[in-house]
Amino acid sequence: MAAFLQWRKFVFFDKDTVKDPVDNGKNFVLPPGISTCDSGRGHIKCWLFGRFFGFTIWLMTRSLQLTSFQAYKLRVTHLYQLKQHSILVSVGQDEHGINPLVKVWNLDKRDSGNPLCTRIFPAIPGNKPTEVSCLSVHENLNFMAIGFTDGSVVLTKGDITRDRHSKTLTLHEGTSPVTGLAFRQMAKVTNLFVATLEKVHCYTLSIKEYPKVELDTHGCALRCSALADPSQDSQFIVAGDECVYLYQPDERGPCFAFDGHKLLAHWHRGYLFLLIRDTKTAFGSRESSPSDKQLLTIYDLDNKFIAYSASFDDVIDVVAEWGSFYILTRDGKVCVLQEKDTQTKLEMLFKKNLFVMAINLAKSQHLDSDGLSEIFRQYGDHLYLKGDHDGAIQQYIRTIGKLEPSYVIRKFLDAQRIHNLTAYLQALHRQSLANADHTTLLLNCYTKLKDSSKLEEFIKSSEGEVHFDVEIAIKVLRQAGYHSHAVFLAEKHMHHEWYLKIQLEDLKNYHEALRYIGRLPFEQAESNMKRYGKTLMHHVPEGTTLLLKGLCTNYQPSGDAANSEEFIPIFANNPRELKAFLEHMIEVDPRSPQGVYDTLLELRLQDWAHEQDVERKKVLQMEAVSLLRSDNTVFDKALVLCQMHNFKEGVLYLYEKGKLYQQIMHYHMQNEEYGKVVDACKRYGDQEGCLWEQALGYFARKEEDCKAYISEVLQHIDQNNLMPPLLVVQTLAHNSTATLSVIKDYLINKLQRESQQIEDDDRKIRQYREETAHLRAEIQELKTSAKIFQKTKCNMCNSPLELPSVHFLCSHSFHQHCFESYAESEAECPTCTPENRKVMDMLRAQDQKRDLHDHFNRQLRSSNDGFSVVADYFSRGVFNKLTLVTDPPGNKNVGSLEVNLQRDLLIHTKRNC
């Protein structure tokens, strides 16, 4: 008894005697003569409790109502109630000397008021008579096993409720009586455990040959075996006098030293029930002295404690039904054991400080996580008060997710408890329940402990095990001076900004930072180069320039390209690298941004301006000019840069490109390049005539001897009549070196041409006067004399005229049908219409130009001879207001003499002109 006495004993059940519901206050008593019993399913509306009295089966409901039916004529020896079906299997006798009969009852169906018996067959292992010792039925109704006292086992396979769908065979033969049978179903494997007085076997029924395994060489008495539930892996329990053994289908499992003569072994709802007495009884004997005491003990094998133990007199059986356990004694009394609720059990354990047992009990009772967490907390508090801080922290760790972490952290903030606090914070992070403050606190613990190994283990966990705020960890490590750890964490979790910040600001590892940026995706590489480019350029100029070239052209592997213009400020103090970068950009991508070309031009001009070597200076000059000729620079910016660096070739090229011819000439004037001033006039004078006038004024202001240049300018002015002579004389009057001999030829030629022009004008005046007088005479004749039409041929078809005909004052005559066919208007002569239309168009054009004041002003300002411009506009009638009145449409009669006179004057004047 020493072994199981080491197990703690509790009273987790309340014992009570069942009272008669009819007669309150009196104990309920069963009919005498009970030989066997079982419990399980009953009617649809109630649970049944089966027992035998003589040849009668009694059924008891939860309300203690008894019903019965006759099953056999002589006696009933065995009952088996299935748990998942309303099927009851019984073994008994109807006649003396006849082998026992097996009857299958369907309790849900009735036959004359009794349960329906669906099958009857004899229970015999062969041809020799023997008694049934035990019975077991598989819950799937396909297997039934019957054990006999001669050591044989008969197996019925198929539907046990019908004769035609099942067959019977002898599965086991031996010399020792069979004392226990149990079916075990795991997945698709079906086993049958067979216990005898001497051995324990296991058959595999899911294999056709039914292989057998001998599990042990000692057995047990009747009713001393049972099948555990899945919590014990459905092991077969055999209760011997010295130990209780547990068996798997292929081997023996654990054993428990529970000694004492076993009378009964049952497994109910996770508990092992053992009934023990000290006296010996013969096999198969049910008789015992009423004074014999029997000890009923309920074991919790999972948690290793005794849940209940008490003495009873002459116990027949222990059955479980309706959530309680019922103990039947031979005197007919019924005791009920009601299990205490889980919370009550736990409180009993808490009072004894049995927290480990409480935890195990709570798990076996499937207590929820909140309940378990509370037990862990109480256990942790208990250990903490005892001074077992290591044990306490392990219990607090088990509360993570339920208990507020601050409750635990406050207890261990003392520096002496920093190891425990570290362990708790580690567990908090492993469960991904840590916040930023917890991460900070844990890292501070590591740094205070100077535990680099733990620190590395924490930060170097695999990607799937990261349970902390990485950014917070990087900040704390950096602040504590663990830069290498911070860098590792930043690189591993791709916190690129933190990695670069630490490398550049703390470790000063510029080459590594540059290498890291070169491996980043395009967008991140671009942004980080804009942020740290100046620093890297200062310390690693060549590598930085090389990286920028790749970033702005064809960054691999993405193939993207950044805007090179945005990186120009990075090269603020590195003009040599900047020039190399820009030249690379325009070579690789001629369509580079405008700023690239402008900046490169400025750099080339700076190099040109500071270069002392003549040959090298020429090369730099050619490079700058070629960039200007590429048409990729902004005109205004390029011009300013060339002027700032006094780059003559560039300035003149841009002036010419922008058609700033006066600026070109002024540039030569400022530099007193007389020959180039004249050359500029020759090249650009046709586009801008005032250049000659400006050149003349320039040379006129010079006190040097510029007679040759003045003569050349005057010659060109004279040939193209660019200036009035008076203005030429006034311009040269300020030059003391420009004597009369300089302009003598110019003045003579000018006077001769003007004299010739006056003669030509006088001749034209006389001609116009004569024509005007002739026209007036014609008009007067038309007014005073009759017009005789003597035309004999049609002016249209040149055929003789025939009446009707049409005649016009212009002396043109037409056939009526010719006139109607070709005339566009009844009031106009078809022959004169084209000429008249030209005249009218000219008049309309002159009329439209009368309001062109802006055009007139522009011409007047840009012309060297303003008088000629005014005379031209005056001749076109711009300053006159002319009103032209024509004949009304459809009227061939002359309406007014004044109107006709004006029209005729206009027509003939234009025709003569």
According to the 3-state scheme, what is the secondary structure of 581-649?
A: HHHHHHHHCCCCCHHHHHHHHHHHHHHHHHCCCHHHHHHHHHHHHHHHHCCCCCHHHHHHHHHHCCCHH
CA angle (783, 785, 791) in 5-degree steps = 110
Q: Which pLDDT score is estimated for 272?
A: 92
Instruction: Report the number of secondary-structure helices (H) and strands (E) in the chain.
Output: 31, 31
**pLDDT at position 214:** 93
Please report, in angstroms and rounded to a whole number, the separation of the first and last CA atoms in the chain.
156
Q: What is the pLDDT of residue 5?
A: 52
Contact 528, 514 (CB under 8 A): no
Q: Does domain 341-434 have CATH number 1.10.3470?
A: no
The bridge status of strand 101-111 relative to strand 114-122 is antiparallel
Asked if residue 312 lies in contact with residue 329, where contact means CB atoms within 8 angstroms, the answer is yes
804 cis-preceded (ω within 30 degrees of 0): yes
Distance from chain centroid for Cα 380:
43
Report the distance separating Cα 355 and Cα 324, nearest Å: 27
State both tokens at 159. 């539907």
Return the HEC string of 332-383: CEEEEEEECCHHHHHHHHHHCCCHHHHHHHHHHCCCCHHHHHHHHHHHHHHH
What whole-number distance in Å separates Cα of residue 443 and Cα of residue 459? 10
Instruction: Give me the residues paired with residue 80 across strands.
Output: 89
Sequence-distant (6+) residues with CB within 8 A of 47 are 39, 40, 41, 61, 62, 321, 322
Give the residues across from 319 on adjacent strands: 326
CA dihedral sign of residues 52, 58, 62, 65: negative
The C-alpha atoms of residue 137 and residue 141 are separated, in whole angstroms, by 7
Q: Which two tokens stand for residue 278?
A: 């000290």
Strand partners, 552: none
Q: Give the per-residue pLDDT at 2.
A: 39
Closest CA to 179 of 315, 284, 287: 284
Cα–Cα–Cα angle for 491, 440, 397, rounded to 5 degrees: 110
**What span, in angstroms and rounded, lies between the C-alpha atoms of 311 and 276?**
9
Alpha carbons 760 and 762: distance in angstroms, whole number: 6
d(CA 60, CA 46): 10
Cβ burial, residue 848 (10 Å; 0-12/13-18/19+): exposed
CA–CA separation, 377 and 446 (whole Å): 26
Q: Give CA–CA dist 407/301, Å, rounded.
A: 35
Q: Are 376 and 359 in contact (CB under 8 A)?
A: yes
Query: How many angstroms separate the CA atoms of 597 and 593, rounded?
Result: 7
Q: Is the distance from CB of 808 to CB of 829 less than 8 angstroms?
A: yes
pLDDT at 736: 58
Tokens of 658: 């922008």
d(C-alpha 455, C-alpha 546), whole Å: 38
Helix axes 594-610, 614-629, angle to 10 degrees: 160
pLDDT at 811: 75
Q: Which of 3, 5, 7 is nearest to 304 (CA)?
A: 7
The token pair at 675 is 């020959």
Helix (H) or strand (E) holding 191: strand 189-196
Phi, psi of 747 (to 5 degrees): -70, -40
Angle between helices 594-610 and 635-644 (to 10 degrees): 10
720 is written with which tokens? 């193209």
Whose CA is closest to 184, among 144, 235, 222, 141?
A: 235
Weakly modelled stretches of the chain, pLDDT under 50: 1-4, 42-54, 280-291, 882-913
Identify the pLDDT of residue 742: 62
What pLDDT is stored for residue 226 in this prediction?
93
- Is residue 246 within 8 Å of 254, Cβ to Cβ? yes
Q: Which residues pair with 155 in a beta bridge?
A: 145, 169
* Residue for token pair 């945005």: 566
pTM of the complete model: 0.53
Tell me what pLDDT residue 136 has: 93
Q: Position of tokens 């990186």?
A: 567
The residues, any chain, with a CB within 8 Å of residue 394's CB and separated by 6 or more, are 380, 423
